[in-house]
Structure 1
Amino acid sequence: MVENPPENGPRSPEKASLRRELLAARRALTDDARRTAARALVRTALALPELADAATVAAYVSVGGEPGTRDLLDALRAAGKRVLLPLLLPDNDLDWAVYEGPDGLAEAAHPGKMRLWEPVGPALGPDAVTGADAVLLPGLAVDGRGMRLGRGGGSYDRVLARLERAGAHPALVVLLYDEEVVARVPEEPHDHPVRAVATPSGVVRFG
């Protein structure tokens, strides 16, 4: 799930510079490297107790150079999990629908934004995410404090704020490549720390 640039609000020059660097590294990955990483990510993510014990997992369909999630979505569903996937709204907020398998996805065009793959089932409303036991977040990096660097669109900042308002406390897990766990990312007041990062080689946890 790619987050798009924000329509308003100031940008952090530090974040923008780091995003460019990380996106360039993703573009440099070969197709074989991406496929290998996606297969390994299934193993490491499914080993997380937060996912093993979850009845409902909010996830996303990877696009572009993002760590692949397609195999993971199918593995979660095969394990009996209810998997929610996002639907991008015109204001960059996210609605949600249940993932019913690969045939239940359709390519969605959003004017001025990257084409995404979204579930075709009934929309459950933006608040559906508050019922998830675990939320898989896209990102570009996470640092040693658990602070996440997103793509800058603000979609998942809204999700995290909605969870906070609802008093919901699902496990927050970011899916990354190994090299994207970094020493530090620029932090802003609205940023929320995450519980863990799953990468192809393992899991990193934060206090």
Structure 2
Amino acid sequence: MKHHSPIKDLKKHLRLGALARRDGLDAEYRIEASMRIAEIGLASFEVESGGIVSGFWPIRSEVDLRPLLFGLRERGARLCLPVIMDKQTILFRELVRGAPMVETGFGTAGPPEDAVVLDPTFMLVPLAAFDARGHRIGYGAGYYDRAISRLLEIGVNPRLIGVAFDCQEVEIVPDEPHDMPLEAILTESGLRRFGSTDKAI
């Protein structure tokens, strides 16, 4: 029997509240905010040519990252998208211009099975909610936490940039030991860096 976790309950409450606010955004506002997010990201991020950037294809009311991703590809980045392999694991398959997209779980689309699997060094991380310290609440399945842990285990230390709308901010995300704080959060009002790092993103 699973024991009752107050932290999990609080996270669920914060997640549902933030997602309801996101769902409530006007569709036109979401489009404009996504374009603004692309502009800010392209002005802020330094991704070396050949750098491997993971993003995500928008589902439901998420930020549409495609303008930002395609802008980074124009600068020489290699793009990849998460694909759910089983209940525990996501892998990142390369997004190649002109390749077909297939159903990849949870209503998402991604590159097909014959696409190259990459280990991203720069991750644009989806989230349900975030706080001013750079802590995130995901969608509850823990896929990204496990994927990031796996990358760290094999010696890849990816940059972690959360992407969300301003309305998804909450006062405080309760910490759990496995949580990986983000280096920065990108929203339509700007890029917020966290921690002591002053290096360019």
The offset of 1:38, in angstroms, is 1.0
How far did 1:183 drift? 2.9
Cα deviation digits, residues 82-140 of structure 1 (max 9, x gap): 01111111224112211123x43424164xxx311111262444xx32xx331110002
Within the alignment, does 1:117 sit opposite 2:109 as a pair?
yes
Match of 1:95 among 85, 88, 91: 91
Alignment match of 2:39 (pick from 28, 36, 43) = 43
Alpha carbons of structure 1 residues 52 and 199: separation in structure 2 relative to 1, 3 Å: farther
Structure 1 partner of 2:124:
136
CA distance in 2, matches of 1:24, 1:159: 27
Give the 3 Å change call, closer, same or farther, for CA 184–176 of structure 1 in structure 2.
Answer: same
Which whole-Å CA distance do the structure 2 matches of 1:30 and 1:166 have between them?
A: 42
Number of equivalences:
192
Name which of structure 1's ranges 180-189 and 8-17 shifts more when overlaid on structure 2. Answer: 8-17
Do the aligned partners of 2:14 and 2:170 also contact (CA within 8 Å) in 1?
A: no
Q: Does 1:167 align with 2:155?
A: yes
Quote the Cα distance in structure 2 between the aligned partners of 1:56 and 1:109.
20
CA distance in 2, matches of 1:121, 1:168: 23
1-side partners of 2:87 and 2:148: how far apart? Answer: 16
The answer for the alignment partner of 1:33 in structure 2 is 29
- Give the Cα separation in 1 of the matches to 2:145 and 2:26: 30
Q: How does 1:172-191 map to 2 (within 5 A)?
A: 172-191=160-179
**TM-score, normalization by structure 2:** 0.86
Q: Sequence identity, in percent? A: 31
Residue pairs, 1:44-63, within 5 angstroms: 44-51=40-47, 55-63=51-59
Measured at CA, do residues 199 and 51 of structure 1 come closer, stay the same or move farther in structure 2, by a change above 3 Å? farther
Aligned counterpart for 1:196 among listed residues 181, 184, 190:
184
Please tell me the residue identity of whatever aligns with 2:155.
G
